Structure 1
Amino acid sequence: MRQIFFDTETTGLLAEGGDRIIEIGCVEMINRQLTGNNLHLYINPERASHEDALRVHGLTEAFLADKPKFAEIVDELLEFLTGAELVIHNAPFDIGFVNAELKRLRKPPITDVVGSVRDTLLMAREMFPGKANSLDALCRRLEVDNSGRTLHGALLDAELLADVYINMTRGQDALLIDDAGGDSDSAEFKLAAVDLRSFELPVLRADEAELAAHTKVLGELDKSSGGKRVWQDGI
């Protein structure tokens, strides 16, 4: 599966009010492995940022003046995103801005180009109801280092979101076997035979607290998977 962790910075909060995209960050992950094939774009919005937005991203008119306009990068962006699952924190905001830019160019909405859209804010609200679920809050809760995030930046935020997503989905990439580091044809391995019948292995049984913790984790996994668990099938 090809996923793109996607984030934008904008001149303000209202796409329908004429605010524009000024930065796009895309981080590619294939089969839960970051590829390093990322896309980072600064865009001349042809207007000034609101003061509140400028304090958030720090991208001035002077900095953006010589950057390409959205019409000049749209083909590169769409080619990069085609067919992928977009993973976005608070997806309606970013999708709304991208669609507004595409509409100006008389192009179809982004959902006609990508495979699907996943909103990690909705995922977080289901996993952590009643708690703060901003990207910063999730970084703290899931022990993702965001110490370098003094200002918002689309590429940095997309990279942080990728780390947050892996932790939210239980880091299942760690279960993949990486055999790239060894070559069974380049060395000879000799294993001594061991008669396991000479060992008496102890049985360590879980106590009540461990059983309760195990049940809680299974419940969380069941909830985050939308009830698509398979471990109790046939029980």
Structure 2
Amino acid sequence: MREIVFDTETTGLSFPGGDRIVEIGCVELHNRVMTGRTFHAYVNPQRPVPIEAFNVHGLSDRFLSDKPLFHDIVEDLLEFLGDCPLVAHNAGFDFSFLNGELARCGRPHCGPDRMVDTLTIARSRHPGAKHSLDALCSRYGIDLSARQLHGALLDAQLLAQVYVELTGGRQITLGLAVDAPIMRETPAEAPTRVHVRPARNFAPSAAELARHAAFVMGLEEPLWASAASG
């Protein structure tokens, strides 16, 4: 099953109040495994970024001034989103901005039937606990060292890992997959890699190999001996 985990950064908290998207990041999952395919764009909001918002995501008026408008990226975005479920943390917020921008471009909105809210899932699974993205990453041992500021693509990649844990962990499909590298283009265009925990080593020790060899030598009339003699 294909799903898209996405996050937005904005100029504020209210699209009807005049706030706009300044960054959007999307991560593709297939059967709850990151495929490595992403969509990421900075967006010129055509309005000043308040200092409160800048302190959250670090995207300044100057940095955003030469970025594309939302209607310049909307076709590529919609192609990437397709018609699959859309996963976000406090999804009502991100959906309100996404649908607001789509409406301004004359495009159909993404309906609530596509919405998967990880905040709702987290509250159900961990009542009484903290449910911020940072808190959930800490709960599930997901490395946050690259998250100095909020960033749409980085946050979507972190949320994808949280979502997998909230919905059963990596073994949900009983499949094996290699972790995709997690990258984010910062405003300085300097990529940062999030640490992925290495695979554990289950190789037998020398003592274990010796005990196994002794056990095999003590077997009476083993089947492989009969097969070899026949």
TM-score of the superposed pair, with normalisation by structure 1: 0.72
After TM superposition, where is structure 1 displaced by more than 6 Å over at least 4 residues in a row? none
How far residue 111 of structure 1 moved from its aligned partner, in angstroms, is 2.1
> Do the aligned residues in 2 keep the contact of 1:70 with 1:101 (CA within 8 Å)?
yes
Letter in 2 for 1:51: I
State the partner residue of 1:33: 33
> Do the aligned residues in 2 keep the contact of 1:23 with 1:42 (CA within 8 Å)?
yes
State the partner residue of 2:142: 144
State the partner residue of 1:66: 66
How far residue 172 of structure 1 moved from its aligned partner, in angstroms, is 4.0
> Do the aligned residues in 1 keep the contact of 2:26 with 2:153 (CA within 8 Å)?
yes
State the partner residue of 1:122: 120
State the partner residue of 1:92: 92
1:21 aligns with 2:21: yes
Q: Helix, strand or coil for the counterpart of 1:24?
A: strand
Letter in 2 for 1:54: F
Letter in 1 for 2:125: M
Give the 3 Å change call, closer, same or farther, for CA 14–177 of structure 1 in structure 2.
closer
| Runs of 5+ consecutive residues of structure 2 not aligned to the other structure | 179-221, 225-230
Counting matched residue pairs gives 181
CA separation in 2, counterparts of 1:2 and 1:147? 28
Matches within 5 A, 1:129-208: 129-173=127-171, 176-178=174-176, 193=223
Cα-Cα RMSD: 2.0
How far residue 69 of structure 1 moved from its aligned partner, in angstroms, is 0.1
Letter in 2 for 1:157: D
> Do the aligned residues in 1 keep the contact of 2:15 with 2:96 (CA within 8 Å)?
yes
CA separation in 2, counterparts of 1:107 and 1:80? 15
Give the 3 Å change call, closer, same or farther, for CA 174–70 of structure 1 in structure 2.
same
TM-score of the superposed pair, with normalisation by structure 2: 0.74
How far residue 34 of structure 1 moved from its aligned partner, in angstroms, is 1.0
How far residue 171 of structure 1 moved from its aligned partner, in angstroms, is 1.2
Letter in 2 for 1:35: T
CA separation in 1, counterparts of 2:101 and 2:173? 40
Give the 3 Å change call, closer, same or farther, for CA 132–68 of structure 1 in structure 2.
same
Give the 3 Å change call, closer, same or farther, for CA 57–103 of structure 1 in structure 2.
same
Letter in 2 for 1:9: E
Q: Helix, strand or coil for the counterpart of 1:36?
A: strand
How far residue 169 of structure 1 moved from its aligned partner, in angstroms, is 1.8
Residue-by-residue CA offset, 1:98-142 (whole Å, 9 max, x unaligned): 111112122221228xx7210000000011111210100101111
CA separation in 1, counterparts of 2:223 and 2:12? 69
CA separation in 2, counterparts of 1:96 and 1:179? 34
Q: Helix, strand or coil for the counterpart of 2:119?
A: helix
> Do the aligned residues in 2 keep the contact of 1:6 with 1:86 (CA within 8 Å)?
yes
> Do the aligned residues in 1 keep the contact of 2:31 with 2:173 (CA within 8 Å)?
no
How far residue 173 of structure 1 moved from its aligned partner, in angstroms, is 3.2
How far residue 174 of structure 1 moved from its aligned partner, in angstroms, is 6.5
